[in-house]
Amino acid sequence: MFLTRRAWLLMVLCASVSTSAAFAGGDNGGSKRNGKVTVRNQTNAPIGVTSKANSAAIQAAIQAKDVQAFQDAGGRIVNPGQSTTFSLKSGSHAIGVGDATFANTATFDANVQKGQTTTLNVTSGAGGALSITKA
């Protein structure tokens, strides 16, 4: 069976487009990979965690001690022994944590690198003071 010039040209064009599309995204399906920050709760109580500690909405929720507003602004509640992971663009991000009443809070300036994961541990000390350390 012989192919017409039009069919042959269409096959070549489809093959070249599908090959270039496969290489464009790399191994993760996108041309740019974000970095990740994983926050592990190593306290004995639930904590609130945010990757936007300096945002006005997060600050307002903390001042009002409003957990729902905190979550609506992108904050997450993490139970003891659990963790949460944020996918973030490269650069500096203020990671913030707080106890259930937001009486004790802490922040950590995480330098996120493309394609890498930074793990942070949250612990509590005397009087419930929270601290964040890089694992």
* 65-94 pLDDT per residue, tens: 999 999 999 999 999 999 999 999 999 999
Can you read off the two tokens belonging to residue 46? 């639930």
Can you read off the two tokens belonging to residue 95? 């990671």
> Of 20-29, 85-94, 99-108, which gets the smallest average pLDDT?
20-29
The helix/strand/coil state of 116 is: coil
CATH architecture of the region 35-134: Sandwich (2.60)
DSSP label at residue 63: H
The helix/strand/coil state of 30 is: coil
* 106-124 pLDDT per residue, tens: 999 999 999 999 999 999 9
Domain boundaries, the chain: 1-31, 35-134
If 0-12 CB within 10 Å is exposed, 13-18 middle and 19+ buried, where does residue 25 land? exposed
